[in-house]
Structure 1
Amino acid sequence: MELGVHFALSDSVAAELLDARGDDDKLGAAVEDIEETGRSEFSCDTDKAWDPILCALSSTGYERVSENWPAYGVILGDEDLNTDTDDQLVTYLAPDRVAEVSSYLAEITESEFGVRYDAMPLDDRNPEYGPDERQYAWGWLQEVADFFQRAARENHHVVFTVRF
Protein backbone atom coordinates (compact mmCIF):
# COMPACT_ATOMS: atom_id res chain seq x y z
CA MET A 1 0.00 0.00 0.00
CA GLU A 2 1.38 3.38 -1.01
CA LEU A 3 0.81 6.92 0.19
CA GLY A 4 -2.15 8.88 -1.19
CA VAL A 5 -2.38 12.63 -1.70
CA HIS A 6 -5.26 14.97 -2.52
CA PHE A 7 -4.43 18.17 -4.43
CA ALA A 8 -6.61 21.27 -4.68
CA LEU A 9 -6.10 22.79 -8.12
CA SER A 10 -6.84 26.07 -9.84
CA ASP A 11 -8.81 26.07 -13.07
CA SER A 12 -5.64 26.41 -15.17
CA VAL A 13 -3.72 23.57 -13.50
CA ALA A 14 -6.81 21.34 -13.57
CA ALA A 15 -7.17 22.10 -17.30
CA GLU A 16 -3.61 20.83 -17.87
CA LEU A 17 -4.45 17.54 -16.17
CA LEU A 18 -7.76 17.21 -17.99
CA ASP A 19 -5.96 17.83 -21.30
CA ALA A 20 -3.63 14.93 -20.43
CA ARG A 21 -6.56 12.61 -19.60
CA GLY A 22 -6.07 9.23 -21.26
CA ASP A 23 -2.39 9.82 -22.09
CA ASP A 24 -0.76 8.14 -19.09
CA ASP A 25 2.76 9.35 -19.88
CA LYS A 26 1.69 12.97 -20.28
CA LEU A 27 -0.58 12.72 -17.24
CA GLY A 28 2.15 11.14 -15.11
CA ALA A 29 4.54 13.96 -16.02
CA ALA A 30 1.90 16.58 -15.19
CA VAL A 31 1.13 14.98 -11.81
CA GLU A 32 4.83 14.69 -11.01
CA ASP A 33 5.29 18.36 -11.89
CA ILE A 34 2.46 19.33 -9.53
CA GLU A 35 3.92 17.17 -6.75
CA GLU A 36 7.48 18.45 -7.15
CA THR A 37 6.89 22.13 -7.88
CA GLY A 38 4.02 22.78 -5.50
CA ARG A 39 1.73 24.04 -8.29
CA SER A 40 -1.32 22.91 -6.36
CA GLU A 41 -3.13 25.49 -4.27
CA PHE A 42 -2.75 23.16 -1.27
CA SER A 43 -2.69 19.43 -0.61
CA CYS A 44 -3.60 16.78 1.94
CA ASP A 45 -1.60 13.63 2.54
CA THR A 46 -3.64 10.60 3.49
CA ASP A 47 -0.71 8.30 4.21
CA LYS A 48 -1.96 4.74 3.68
CA ALA A 49 -5.34 5.55 5.24
CA TRP A 50 -6.91 6.30 1.85
CA ASP A 51 -7.69 2.59 1.37
CA PRO A 52 -9.54 1.89 4.65
CA ILE A 53 -11.26 5.28 4.29
CA LEU A 54 -12.57 4.31 0.85
CA CYS A 55 -13.54 0.77 1.87
CA ALA A 56 -15.33 1.95 5.01
CA LEU A 57 -17.25 4.80 3.39
CA SER A 58 -18.18 3.07 0.15
CA SER A 59 -19.67 -0.38 0.48
CA THR A 60 -18.62 -1.16 -3.10
CA GLY A 61 -14.90 -0.54 -2.59
CA TYR A 62 -13.17 0.59 -5.76
CA GLU A 63 -16.33 0.77 -7.88
CA ARG A 64 -18.26 3.95 -8.59
CA VAL A 65 -21.87 2.96 -7.95
CA SER A 66 -24.35 5.83 -8.02
CA GLU A 67 -26.02 4.79 -4.74
CA ASN A 68 -22.67 5.32 -3.00
CA TRP A 69 -22.19 8.90 -4.17
CA PRO A 70 -20.73 11.01 -2.60
CA ALA A 71 -18.98 8.41 -0.40
CA TYR A 72 -16.84 7.02 -3.21
CA GLY A 73 -16.00 10.55 -4.35
CA VAL A 74 -13.78 11.10 -1.32
CA ILE A 75 -11.07 8.93 -2.92
CA LEU A 76 -12.31 7.82 -6.34
CA GLY A 77 -13.58 11.20 -7.48
CA ASP A 78 -15.84 11.20 -10.52
CA GLU A 79 -13.40 9.71 -12.99
CA ASP A 80 -9.99 8.17 -13.48
CA LEU A 81 -7.77 10.43 -15.54
CA ASN A 82 -5.33 7.62 -16.33
CA THR A 83 -6.10 4.51 -18.37
CA ASP A 84 -3.75 2.04 -16.67
CA THR A 85 -4.82 1.93 -13.04
CA ASP A 86 -2.53 -0.99 -12.14
CA ASP A 87 0.44 1.27 -11.30
CA GLN A 88 -1.17 4.56 -10.36
CA LEU A 89 -4.58 6.01 -9.64
CA VAL A 90 -5.30 9.63 -10.61
CA THR A 91 -8.90 10.63 -9.89
CA TYR A 92 -10.67 13.93 -10.52
CA LEU A 93 -13.52 15.99 -9.05
CA ALA A 94 -14.88 19.26 -10.47
CA PRO A 95 -15.58 22.10 -8.00
CA ASP A 96 -19.34 21.46 -7.83
CA ARG A 97 -18.71 17.82 -6.92
CA VAL A 98 -16.02 18.87 -4.41
CA ALA A 99 -18.75 20.82 -2.62
CA GLU A 100 -21.00 17.74 -2.50
CA VAL A 101 -18.21 15.60 -1.02
CA SER A 102 -17.40 18.34 1.48
CA SER A 103 -21.01 18.47 2.69
CA TYR A 104 -21.10 14.68 2.96
CA LEU A 105 -17.89 14.55 5.01
CA ALA A 106 -19.12 17.28 7.36
CA GLU A 107 -21.95 14.95 8.43
CA ILE A 108 -19.85 11.82 9.14
CA THR A 109 -19.42 11.19 12.86
CA GLU A 110 -16.75 9.04 14.44
CA SER A 111 -19.44 6.61 15.54
CA GLU A 112 -20.91 6.34 12.03
CA PHE A 113 -17.45 5.86 10.54
CA GLY A 114 -16.76 3.13 13.10
CA VAL A 115 -19.97 1.29 12.18
CA ARG A 116 -19.10 1.49 8.48
CA TYR A 117 -15.52 0.40 9.12
CA ASP A 118 -16.67 -2.58 11.18
CA ALA A 119 -19.09 -3.58 8.38
CA MET A 120 -16.35 -3.45 5.72
CA PRO A 121 -16.56 -6.53 3.46
CA LEU A 122 -13.92 -9.18 4.23
CA ASP A 123 -12.43 -8.88 0.74
CA ASP A 124 -11.72 -5.16 1.32
CA ARG A 125 -9.97 -5.57 4.67
CA ASN A 126 -6.23 -5.03 5.03
CA PRO A 127 -4.09 -7.27 7.25
CA GLU A 128 -4.06 -4.30 9.67
CA TYR A 129 -7.86 -4.33 9.96
CA GLY A 130 -9.00 -3.70 13.53
CA PRO A 131 -9.40 -0.99 16.18
CA ASP A 132 -5.97 0.56 15.57
CA GLU A 133 -6.50 0.87 11.82
CA ARG A 134 -10.02 2.21 12.38
CA GLN A 135 -8.65 4.97 14.65
CA TYR A 136 -5.80 5.66 12.22
CA ALA A 137 -8.22 5.99 9.28
CA TRP A 138 -10.60 8.19 11.29
CA GLY A 139 -7.74 10.54 12.19
CA TRP A 140 -6.72 10.92 8.56
CA LEU A 141 -10.35 11.31 7.50
CA GLN A 142 -10.54 14.43 9.67
CA GLU A 143 -7.65 15.91 7.68
CA VAL A 144 -9.39 14.97 4.43
CA ALA A 145 -12.67 16.56 5.60
CA ASP A 146 -10.86 19.81 6.44
CA PHE A 147 -9.15 19.72 3.05
CA PHE A 148 -12.47 19.27 1.22
CA GLN A 149 -14.11 22.07 3.19
CA ARG A 150 -11.35 24.47 2.19
CA ALA A 151 -11.34 23.26 -1.43
CA ALA A 152 -15.12 23.73 -1.64
CA ARG A 153 -15.00 27.15 -0.01
CA GLU A 154 -12.30 28.28 -2.47
CA ASN A 155 -13.99 26.60 -5.49
CA HIS A 156 -11.06 24.34 -6.41
CA HIS A 157 -10.85 21.15 -8.43
CA VAL A 158 -9.54 18.09 -6.54
CA VAL A 159 -7.25 15.36 -7.80
CA PHE A 160 -6.31 12.31 -5.74
CA THR A 161 -3.16 10.36 -6.61
CA VAL A 162 -1.59 7.17 -5.36
CA ARG A 163 1.07 4.94 -6.88
CA PHE A 164 0.93 1.21 -6.32
Structure 2
Amino acid sequence: MKKLILVRHGKSSWEHNLPDNERPLLKRGYTDGELVSKAFTKSLDIAPVIWTSPAIRALETAKIFRNNLNIVEDKFNIKQGLYTFNWQELLHIINSCEPEVENLMIFGHNPAMTNLVNILGDKHFDNIPTTGLTYINFESATWENLKQGTTLLNLFPKNLR
Protein backbone atom coordinates (compact mmCIF):
# COMPACT_ATOMS: atom_id res chain seq x y z
CA MET A 1 0.00 0.00 0.00
CA LYS A 2 1.34 3.44 -0.98
CA LYS A 3 0.41 6.83 0.42
CA LEU A 4 1.06 10.00 -1.52
CA ILE A 5 0.99 13.43 0.10
CA LEU A 6 0.84 16.29 -2.39
CA VAL A 7 1.51 19.81 -1.10
CA ARG A 8 1.35 22.96 -3.16
CA HIS A 9 4.02 25.47 -2.15
CA GLY A 10 3.14 28.34 0.20
CA LYS A 11 2.02 31.82 -0.82
CA SER A 12 4.89 33.54 -2.60
CA SER A 13 5.91 37.11 -3.29
CA TRP A 14 5.69 38.89 -6.63
CA GLU A 15 7.18 42.06 -5.09
CA HIS A 16 10.63 41.83 -6.64
CA ASN A 17 11.54 41.32 -10.26
CA LEU A 18 12.99 37.82 -9.83
CA PRO A 19 13.00 34.72 -12.01
CA ASP A 20 9.99 32.54 -11.19
CA ASN A 21 12.03 29.85 -9.43
CA GLU A 22 13.61 32.43 -7.10
CA ARG A 23 10.41 33.96 -5.73
CA PRO A 24 10.41 33.75 -1.89
CA LEU A 25 7.56 32.94 0.45
CA LEU A 26 5.47 35.72 1.90
CA LYS A 27 4.98 35.83 5.67
CA ARG A 28 1.60 34.16 5.06
CA GLY A 29 3.43 31.30 3.28
CA TYR A 30 5.43 30.60 6.42
CA THR A 31 2.39 30.96 8.70
CA ASP A 32 0.28 28.63 6.55
CA GLY A 33 3.14 26.13 6.36
CA GLU A 34 3.28 25.98 10.15
CA LEU A 35 -0.50 25.68 10.40
CA VAL A 36 -0.92 22.87 7.86
CA SER A 37 2.17 20.89 8.87
CA LYS A 38 1.20 20.90 12.55
CA ALA A 39 -2.36 19.84 11.70
CA PHE A 40 -1.01 17.06 9.48
CA THR A 41 1.10 15.52 12.27
CA LYS A 42 -2.15 14.13 13.73
CA SER A 43 -2.79 12.11 10.55
CA LEU A 44 0.69 10.82 9.89
CA ASP A 45 1.45 7.22 10.79
CA ILE A 46 4.76 6.65 8.96
CA ALA A 47 7.28 9.43 8.35
CA PRO A 48 7.34 10.20 4.63
CA VAL A 49 10.20 10.63 2.26
CA ILE A 50 10.08 14.24 1.07
CA TRP A 51 10.75 15.25 -2.53
CA THR A 52 10.63 18.96 -3.32
CA SER A 53 10.91 21.24 -6.28
CA PRO A 54 14.09 23.35 -6.15
CA ALA A 55 12.07 26.58 -6.53
CA ILE A 56 12.61 28.72 -3.41
CA ARG A 57 8.90 28.90 -2.53
CA ALA A 58 8.52 25.09 -2.66
CA LEU A 59 11.83 24.38 -0.93
CA GLU A 60 11.04 26.74 1.96
CA THR A 61 7.59 25.21 2.36
CA ALA A 62 9.11 21.72 2.40
CA LYS A 63 11.61 22.75 5.08
CA ILE A 64 8.77 23.89 7.36
CA PHE A 65 7.14 20.47 7.02
CA ARG A 66 10.48 18.66 7.46
CA ASN A 67 11.06 20.46 10.75
CA ASN A 68 7.53 19.98 12.12
CA LEU A 69 7.31 16.33 11.03
CA ASN A 70 10.83 15.56 12.33
CA ILE A 71 12.02 14.19 8.98
CA VAL A 72 15.67 13.12 8.97
CA GLU A 73 17.97 14.76 6.44
CA ASP A 74 18.50 11.66 4.29
CA LYS A 75 14.74 11.46 3.64
CA PHE A 76 14.66 15.04 2.30
CA ASN A 77 15.44 15.36 -1.40
CA ILE A 78 15.44 18.19 -3.93
CA LYS A 79 14.34 16.94 -7.35
CA GLN A 80 14.97 19.26 -10.30
CA GLY A 81 12.15 17.69 -12.31
CA LEU A 82 9.56 18.73 -9.73
CA TYR A 83 9.85 22.31 -10.97
CA THR A 84 7.02 21.60 -13.39
CA PHE A 85 3.50 22.81 -13.97
CA ASN A 86 2.56 19.68 -15.95
CA TRP A 87 0.76 16.84 -14.17
CA GLN A 88 2.15 14.15 -16.54
CA GLU A 89 5.73 15.18 -15.76
CA LEU A 90 4.90 15.24 -12.05
CA LEU A 91 3.37 11.75 -12.21
CA HIS A 92 6.37 10.44 -14.18
CA ILE A 93 8.69 11.53 -11.34
CA ILE A 94 6.43 9.97 -8.69
CA ASN A 95 6.36 6.73 -10.71
CA SER A 96 10.17 6.58 -10.40
CA CYS A 97 10.06 6.29 -6.59
CA GLU A 98 11.65 3.16 -5.13
CA PRO A 99 9.07 0.50 -4.12
CA GLU A 100 10.38 0.32 -0.53
CA VAL A 101 9.12 3.88 0.11
CA GLU A 102 5.63 3.62 1.61
CA ASN A 103 4.84 7.32 2.16
CA LEU A 104 5.99 9.94 -0.35
CA MET A 105 5.44 13.67 0.18
CA ILE A 106 5.80 15.95 -2.84
CA PHE A 107 6.13 19.75 -2.81
CA GLY A 108 5.34 21.36 -6.13
CA HIS A 109 3.35 23.75 -8.25
CA ASN A 110 -0.03 24.38 -9.82
CA PRO A 111 -1.69 23.52 -12.11
CA ALA A 112 0.17 20.19 -11.88
CA MET A 113 -0.86 19.67 -8.24
CA THR A 114 -4.57 20.29 -8.72
CA ASN A 115 -4.69 18.23 -11.90
CA LEU A 116 -2.85 15.28 -10.36
CA VAL A 117 -4.96 15.32 -7.18
CA ASN A 118 -8.09 15.17 -9.33
CA ILE A 119 -6.73 12.39 -11.54
CA LEU A 120 -5.39 10.15 -8.75
CA GLY A 121 -7.79 10.90 -5.89
CA ASP A 122 -11.49 10.17 -5.56
CA LYS A 123 -12.48 13.74 -4.63
CA HIS A 124 -12.50 16.68 -7.02
CA PHE A 125 -11.12 20.13 -6.18
CA ASP A 126 -11.44 23.20 -8.39
CA ASN A 127 -8.11 24.44 -7.09
CA ILE A 128 -5.57 23.26 -4.54
CA PRO A 129 -4.68 26.51 -2.75
CA THR A 130 -1.20 27.53 -1.71
CA THR A 131 -0.01 25.27 1.13
CA GLY A 132 -2.92 22.96 0.36
CA LEU A 133 -2.23 19.32 1.28
CA THR A 134 -3.94 16.23 -0.11
CA TYR A 135 -3.27 12.72 1.23
CA ILE A 136 -4.11 9.83 -1.14
CA ASN A 137 -3.96 6.08 -0.43
CA PHE A 138 -3.30 3.50 -3.16
CA GLU A 139 -3.78 -0.28 -3.19
CA SER A 140 -0.43 -0.74 -4.94
CA ALA A 141 2.87 -2.36 -4.10
CA THR A 142 4.84 0.00 -6.36
CA TRP A 143 4.76 3.61 -7.50
CA GLU A 144 5.08 2.68 -11.17
CA ASN A 145 1.46 2.19 -12.15
CA LEU A 146 -0.61 4.24 -9.72
CA LYS A 147 -4.31 4.06 -10.48
CA GLN A 148 -7.30 5.67 -8.81
CA GLY A 149 -6.67 6.07 -5.10
CA THR A 150 -8.73 7.07 -2.10
CA THR A 151 -8.41 10.65 -0.86
CA LEU A 152 -7.87 10.25 2.88
CA LEU A 153 -7.49 13.91 3.83
CA ASN A 154 -7.24 17.40 2.49
CA LEU A 155 -5.95 20.27 4.60
CA PHE A 156 -6.34 23.81 3.29
CA PRO A 157 -5.11 26.77 5.34
CA LYS A 158 -8.42 28.68 5.20
CA ASN A 159 -10.16 25.71 6.84
CA LEU A 160 -7.64 25.65 9.71
CA ARG A 161 -7.56 29.33 10.63
Q: TM-score with structure 2 length normalisation?
A: 0.32
Whichever structure has more helix as a proportion of its residues is 1
- Flag the structure with more relative contact order, 1 or 2, with Cα contacts below 8 A and sequence separation at least 6: 1
